Amino acid sequence: MSFDDLIGTDGLSAEEEAKLRRVHQLLVAAGPPPELSSDLSLPPVPNDEADPPEVAYLFRRRRGRALVIALAAALAAFVGGYAFGHSKGKPVAFTPVRTVTMHGTSTGASHGVINIAQKDSVGNWPMKVEVSGLPQQTNRTAYYELWLTRDGKAVAPCGSFRVNAKTTRVQLSVSYPLKTYDGWVVTAQTGQRDGLGPVVLTT
């Protein structure tokens, strides 16, 4: 999007406009900052000794433990979803605290945005998901599924949806500890019990 479309020049002095244009160019040149995985949520633990500190090697290598945690997270999601579905609390205003963007894996036309609100009192993360440019389902049973990933693998399902317009918006809620995952993907599912479908959007 051009500077004029994004910002406009109304009310800006020539000096201010030049400064903002420069920042605009830098943002475009820099590109989006990468999402940090859970492995990078904390710094390595420095050693108290004078010698070089030990590097805290990464959790992602402990795949067995990751599997156990993924299974626990799936169970937590089920319980959380049940609790959410049966809660009688009043709805609260949706205020995003984090935004995640996704891009298409095959064409540049598709993309998605996940706006995540503050965790509610029972431990669910409400989310507003918007996807654009995804093709409509090929049959009546097909759908798209949003997943959390670890090490690039879809491990925790977050909800399914169908699209019937250029842009589709849905509200979902998950109870996973989001910090323990490193990304999001959307897969295209046929609904024929054929396992994980192809990834169509990814962070």
Partner 1 sequence: MALSLPRMLPVSTTDGELIERAAGGDRSAFELLYQRYARPVFGLALRRLGDRGRAEDAVQETFASIWRSAGTYRPDRGPGAPWLYAVARNAIVDRARNRTEIPADIPDEPAREAGPAELAEQGWVSWRVHRALEELNEREREVISLAYWSGLSQSEVAEFLDIPLGTVKTRTRAALARLAEILGDEFE
Chain positions contacting partner 1, by CB under 8 A: 1, 5-8, 16, 19-20, 22-24, 26-44, 46, 48, 52-58, 60, 96-99, 101, 103, 111, 113, 115, 128, 130, 132, 151-152, 167, 169, 178-179, 182
Q: Which CB sits closer to partner 1, 111 or 162?
A: 111
- Residue 148 CB, nearest distance to partner 1 (Å)? 11
Nearer to partner 1, 53 or 79 (CB): 53
Task: Read off the tokens for 153.
Answer: 């693998």
Nearer to partner 1, 124 or 189 (CB): 124
Least distance from partner 1 to the Cβ atom of residue 88, Å: 25
Please state, in angstroms and rounded to a whole number, the distance separating the CA atoms of residues 165 and 107. Answer: 17
User: How far apart are CB 9 and partner 1 at their closest, in Å?
Assistant: 10
The nearer residue to partner 1, 51 or 194, going by C-beta atoms, is 51
Which residue lies nearer to partner 1 by CB, 147 or 189?
147
Written as one letter, the residue type at 106 is S
User: Residue 115 or residue 173: which is nearer to partner 1 going by CB?
Assistant: 115
Interacting residues of 183 by C-beta distance below 8 A, sequence separation 6+: 35, 37, 148, 149, 152, 202, 203
C-alpha 15, offset from chain centre? 38
> Nearest to residue 102, comparing CAs of 93, 90, 113, 115?
113
What's the token pair of residue 88?
Answer: 């009688």
What is the residue whose two structure tokens read 């609790």?
83
Under DSSP, is residue 143 helix (H, G, I), strand (E, B) or coil? strand
Which residues contact residue 110 at a Cβ distance below 8 angstroms, ignoring those fewer than 6 apart?
A: 103, 104, 131, 132, 133, 134, 200, 201
Residue 158 contacts residue 119 (beta carbons within 8 Å): no
Minimum gap (Å) between residue 190 Cβ and partner 1: 26
Minimum Å gap between C-beta 74 and partner 1 is 20
In whole angstroms, the minimum distance from the beta carbon of 155 to partner 1 comes to: 15
Residue where the block lists tokens 């995804």:
134
